[in-house]
Amino acid sequence: MGLPRIMVVDDADELGRVAADLVTDAIASTPAASVVPATGRTPMKLYAHLAARREAGLFDTTPVTAVQLDEYLGLANSDRRTLFGWMDRSFLQPLCIADERVIRLPLDGDLDEACDAYDRDRETRGPIDLAILGLGENGHLGFNEPPSGSEAPTRTVELSPMTIAANAGYWGTEADVPTRAVTMGMRHLLAARTVVLLVTGERKRSIAHRALEGPIGPEIPASFLREATGEVTVVVDRAAWGDR
């Protein structure tokens, strides 16, 4: 455990390249890595770089297992808004990760029970090797909405008005954003061997500083990354961090 390494880069393009170097190194050292690939806009350039490197034969993703971070509730599998669909288009397909190497979140049946079972299974598999995360404007990781403690389990959540407003940008309007979701718990993200947190844009400036420099606590779930057990690197662009 140590403080997060903070890498300030010029812009979102450089962030994609720098993050691709970090992810390539992490997978080179653990070829059969379990990887949590966040959706959201921030990691898309990173995933495009990874796909190009794989295509060029620089990088092998065949043994990688992808572990889903979060998902809306109440959507049909075929709905254009599923986060699984977004992960599939941006990460699984471009990196040729086979279906049997994907661990999805529970979406059916008694979800409290299914999430407990998911967490028990997660414990037996051991820590995630690499979590690629974005930062919510309210400090969430995945859909671990504030307040979320460091031990928060995998569970269903109500999305906050701020998250619904932010997610409206993906799908159209706020009415297009489901109000409930399931998220991998904080406990698994904080136990990851390596975490790469990606932050871009001026809209994230306030929350980036609060998460990395303010009080650590459930009101800013991402602040717990400063107490995480693994190696945490934050790649942040100047718009999100400022010039200092």
Residue 46 interacts with ligand GLP (CB under 6 A)?
A: no
- Cα distance between residue 62 and residue 54, in whole Å: 10
Report the residue from 16, 37, 106, 134 that binds ligand GLP according to the rule CB under 6 A: 134
Segment near ligand GLP (CB under 6 A); pick from 11-19, 119-127, 145-153, 160-168:
160-168
Q: List the beta strands (DSSP E) in the chain.
A: 5-9, 34-37, 65-67, 70-72, 102-103, 130-134, 155-158, 180-183, 194-199, 231-237
| Residue reference for tokens 């993050």 | 19
Catalytic residue of the set 49, 71, 144, 145: 145
Residue 41 interacts with ligand GLP (CB under 6 A)?
A: yes
Catalytic residue of the set 71, 129, 140, 144: 140
Report the residue from 34, 65, 82, 163 that binds ligand GLP according to the rule CB under 6 A: 163
- In what helix (H) or strand (E) does residue 72 lie, and over which residues does it extend? strand 70-72
φ/ψ of 44, rounded to 5, equals -65, -40
- Cα distance between residue 86 and residue 191, in whole Å: 25
Of 29 and 174, CB closest to ligand GLP? 174
- 145 a catalytic residue: yes
- Cα distance between residue 84 and residue 69, in whole Å: 9
- 129 a catalytic residue: no
In the complex, least distance from residue 103 CB atom to ligand GLP, rounded to whole angstroms: 16
Residue 227 three-state SS: helix
155 CB neighbour count, 10 Å cutoff: 19
In the complex, least distance from residue 41 CB atom to ligand GLP, rounded to whole angstroms: 4
Torsion of CA 26, 237, 169, 76, to 10 degrees: 10
- 70 a catalytic residue: yes
Catalytic residue of the set 49, 71, 129, 138: 138
Report the residue from 34, 148, 150, 167 that binds ligand GLP according to the rule CB under 6 A: 167
- Cα distance between residue 48 and residue 45, in whole Å: 5
In the complex, least distance from residue 144 CB atom to ligand GLP, rounded to whole angstroms: 9
In the complex, least distance from residue 40 CB atom to ligand GLP, rounded to whole angstroms: 3
Report the residue from 16, 40, 146, 185 that binds ligand GLP according to the rule CB under 6 A: 40
φ/ψ of 17, rounded to 5, equals -70, -45
- Cα distance between residue 193 and residue 230, in whole Å: 4
Of 60 and 209, CB closest to ligand GLP? 209
Selection from 171, 228, 153 nearest residue 197 by Cα = 228
Q: How many residues bind ligand GLP (CB under 6 A)?
A: 16
In the complex, least distance from residue 31 CB atom to ligand GLP, rounded to whole angstroms: 25
Catalytic residues: 70, 138, 140, 145
Q: Kindly list the residues in this chain that would bind ligand GLP in the complex (CB under 6 A).
A: 38-42, 69-70, 133-136, 142-143, 163, 166-167
